[in-house]
Amino acid sequence: MTEHRGTAGGGAPPERLGDYVLERRLGSGGMGVVYLARTVAGRQLAVKVIRREYAEDPGFRDRFRREVAAARRVSGAFTAPVVDADPEGDPPWLATLYVPGGSLTDRVQHEGPMTAREAARVGAQLAEALQDIHRCGLVHRDLKPGNVLLAKDGVRVIDFGISRALSDSHRLTERGAVLGSPPFMAPEQLTGESEVTTAADVFALGAVVAFAVTGHSPFEAGGLPGGDPLAVAYRVVHEEPDLGDLPDSLRDLVSLCLAKDPERRPEVSALLRMAEWADTRAQAAVIRASPVWRGGQAERRQDDTPARATPRARRRRRLMIGAAALAVAVAGFGGWLAGVSNTDADADGDMSAGTGPPRATPVEPWELALQDIGVRDAATEGFSCRPTTTYLLCSAGGALAVVLDRDGTELWRHTGPRDAIGGPSAFTTGGAVLVRSDKGVATFSEAGDELWEIDAPELTGELLRVRGTLVLQNGDSTLRFYSVDSPAQVGEWSTPGRYLTEAVSSGSYALVESRTEETGADPQLMLLDADGREAWTAPRRPPAEVTGYLETIGMDQEAAYFQELDADLPVVTAVVRLDLSDGTWTRTELSRSADPRGVVADGVVYASDTAGVITAVDAAAGEELWTAETGIGTASEPAVADGRLYLSDGEGRLYEVNAADGEVLRSGEVHAGTPGPGSDAWAPAPVIADGVAYVVTLGNTLYATPLDDLREP
């Protein structure tokens, strides 16, 4: 029974609703008033009370019932959970957990626009919230700054008043008016000419990020918030957004989201990764130079409305966007591809890819649908695996780690923080498993027993090992060094006024790249020992003949290896070697460009592309050894083991290639699975251990096959 005094539309507020005491008014909207309330135990809630004139409308009450049902279905780190509701009450009300900190609108009004980095972080968190919402089969339909609350640990998306199920996406009106906020509504919502899908929320996200960094919607005249909503709606439908005052690092991300055609907007899964990387200064130029981004801009500038794309063309466009995000991600220290070096062995012999300790019992073939362990799409979620001393460790960035027995049985799992975007993938070293935790890094035994935890509140980048030391990045410019056998810190290295962009390690040293804080220019390399002490008297810089962007491939005891990206396109045009002892550089120009996913073994760099072309380079001699067209379609990253290269194709088929000349020696069976939104990206490298290949496919499966089962093609 609801107790109240006065009405929600005016007069004294109700003192009590259900079991909750209303303390003060937080704000109001066109349909209701929001109060701060508390439970008997003192927990604070936000209670939305519907205005009486709407509560008396049967149609509106039906809509409010849908809001309550929708809000109950959604859960996640970046949505506010429903505590209680009474849609049949007088007046109807909805109670959610109270999120202190105010809305994005409040933040911008009182403190001014956000920095590019802050806005990009908000965008990434909103993308994750949308994933949760869309996973429940809903479209929010009213994502705007006022519905984005800023908590200390991230955003919260509220108000599902006009959300609709994906299966019922027709135009929703109330008394003849389209519901929503025109400055943040997609064109299809305003015109009703096409169905409203998840792409409408992507459009709104782009407009919200633009608001966060500028203080206004890209469709508000003169850069001023407010104005005639009909005029704003006209501009949304018929005019291009005004993005002139957006930072360069965010402009293209927002531009893609605001495409008029819903089919040209990125999928949320790819958008989440792009948003995380959008403020990364060194990589921003690579993003903007991508032909995918350029193509999206060119298409939106066409005056004529293009014919509606075929399903295949629409699918390929979405997948290209996912591939672009994946290609960009490998460029940075915080990328989600597992490991930074395929030759990066630690002191105990652990390898990020390659052979592990011998086993006595043969492995029978098996296959696992990754959906069963919470991975919706391996290619876009960065899912990959590596062997431990006994088992197989698989992870999706810092968000999920799963330890599998050799027969594919799940032994245990760890779920990382929901804001673990860009954080380190799970790492194994010396019989221990290290994963992202709320505190920083948690260490487990291979059997799943928690051993200790390291406090690293600003953890980013990937975990590395140098001799008996674990290396992690905490903050933009600091590396910390810890004993691998305890949580004891043994050293620290920082570079004030600069920020770290990449790091790679061998058994004895770590090589770190940094750039200037202000411009992202002047890349410098420093070699560090296991205690964080500088092994060089002065940093190294790339030679003048390197005109593109350098990414690390790997490192051994003698040298570090890099791939040079073209200055205009995200393709590799050269292989570069840095001698660690004398500081000399050797650059080898490729006869054919490759994708940014090179691997190195025994001083030979193998560059490849998704068309199956592989080029082997003797990096020390500065010459190509061979180039081979293998015919492997949608080829994965390659792995190197025992003089062989191993790759999978778009149908999950494994190939064994001679590392001496590129000849395809043997291949396996098709493992097609069910392709997801990233299926035109490439799969991670197979893991080869003890005569068994563990393969992640673009069909979102993981399978094991003994190498002896491969057959000649």
Helix/strand/coil for 83: strand
* Res 2: pLDDT: 32
Q: What mean pLDDT comes out for the span 673-701?
A: 85
Q: What mean pLDDT comes out for the span 645-668?
A: 96
DSSP labels, 126-163: HHHHHHHHHHTTEE-----GGGEEEETTEEEE---TT-
Burial readout 65-86 (b: 16 or more C-beta within 10 A, e: otherwise): ebbbbbbebbebbbbbebbbbb
d(C-alpha 397, C-alpha 124), whole Å: 14
Q: What mean pLDDT comes out for the span 411-427?
A: 78
d(C-alpha 186, C-alpha 157), whole Å: 18
- For residue 412, the one-letter residue type is W
d(C-alpha 103, C-alpha 421), whole Å: 22
Of the candidates 179, 445, 339, the residue with the CA atom closest to the CA atom of residue 687: 339
The model's confidence at residue 80, banded by pLDDT at 50, 70 and 90, is: confident
The model's confidence at residue 697, banded by pLDDT at 50, 70 and 90, is: very high
Of the candidates 121, 373, 477, the residue with the CA atom closest to the CA atom of residue 272: 121
Cis peptide bond N-terminal to 262, omega within 30: no
pLDDT over 90, % of the chain: 39
* Res 162: pLDDT: 45
d(C-alpha 693, C-alpha 356), whole Å: 12
CA distances for 64 relative to 41, 48, 688, angstroms? 28, 11, 55
- Model pLDDT for residues 475-532, shown as the tens digit of each residue: 889 999 999 988 999 999 999 988 898 899 988 999 999 988 766 788 999 999 999 9
- For residue 205, the one-letter residue type is L
The model's confidence at residue 548, banded by pLDDT at 50, 70 and 90, is: confident
CB 306 within 8 A of CB 295: no
* Res 568: pLDDT: 65
Cβ count within 10 A of residue 6:
11
Query: Helices (DSSP H) in 192-290: which residue ranges?
Result: 198-214, 229-238, 248-257, 268-277, 281-289
* Res 327: pLDDT: 34
Of the candidates 702, 139, 652, 633, the residue with the CA atom closest to the CA atom of residue 407: 702
Entry pTM: 0.56
Out of 90, 106, 142, 159, which one is annotated catalytic?
142
Across the chain, mean pLDDT equals 79
Q: Which of the residue ranges 73-87, 542-556, 605-619 has the most confident prediction, judged by mean pLDDT?
A: 605-619
Tokens of 219: 């469709």
Whether the pLDDT of residue 660 is over 90: the answer is yes
* Res 676: pLDDT: 64
CB 566 within 8 A of CB 327: no
Q: What mean pLDDT comes out for the span 536-550?
A: 91
CB 17 within 8 A of CB 31: no
Give all strands (DSSP E) within 522-601, no chain letters. 524-528, 549-555, 559-565, 572-579, 585-594, 599-601
The model's confidence at residue 465, banded by pLDDT at 50, 70 and 90, is: very high
Higher pLDDT, 365 or 195: 365
The model's confidence at residue 539, banded by pLDDT at 50, 70 and 90, is: very high
**Residue 142: active-site member:** yes
Cβ count within 10 A of residue 106:
15
Main-chain phi, psi angles of 63, to 5 degrees: -65, -40
* Res 168: pLDDT: 35
Which residues have CB under 8 Å from 479's CB, separation 6+? 471, 472, 473, 492, 493, 494, 500, 503, 510, 512, 528, 532
CB 355 within 8 A of CB 365: no
74-78, 148-152, 361-365: least confident range: 74-78
d(C-alpha 45, C-alpha 22), whole Å: 9
Higher pLDDT, 51 or 204: 204
* Res 296: pLDDT: 42
Going along the chain from its start, the domains and CATH numbers come out as 16-97 (3.30.200.20), 104-328 (1.10.510.10), 330-709 (2.130.10.10)
* Res 421: pLDDT: 52
* Res 620: pLDDT: 96
The model's confidence at residue 288, banded by pLDDT at 50, 70 and 90, is: very low
- Model pLDDT for residues 114-134, shown as the tens digit of each residue: 988 889 889 888 988 888 788
Burial readout 425-442 (b: 16 or more C-beta within 10 A, e: otherwise): bbbbbbebbbbbbeebbb
Tokens of 200: 């409408």
* Res 358: pLDDT: 41
Higher pLDDT, 509 or 354: 509
| Spatial strand order in the sheet of 687-689 | 366-369, 701-706, 692-696, 687-689
The model's confidence at residue 422, banded by pLDDT at 50, 70 and 90, is: low
CB 487 within 8 A of CB 452: yes
Helix H or strand E segment including 471: strand 469-474
Which residues have CB under 8 Å from 506's CB, separation 6+? 341, 343, 344, 345, 466, 555, 556, 557
d(C-alpha 210, C-alpha 114), whole Å: 10
* Res 65: pLDDT: 73
d(C-alpha 665, C-alpha 579), whole Å: 34
Tokens of 549: 């962007």
Of the candidates 503, 502, 499, 483, the residue with the CA atom closest to the CA atom of residue 491: 483
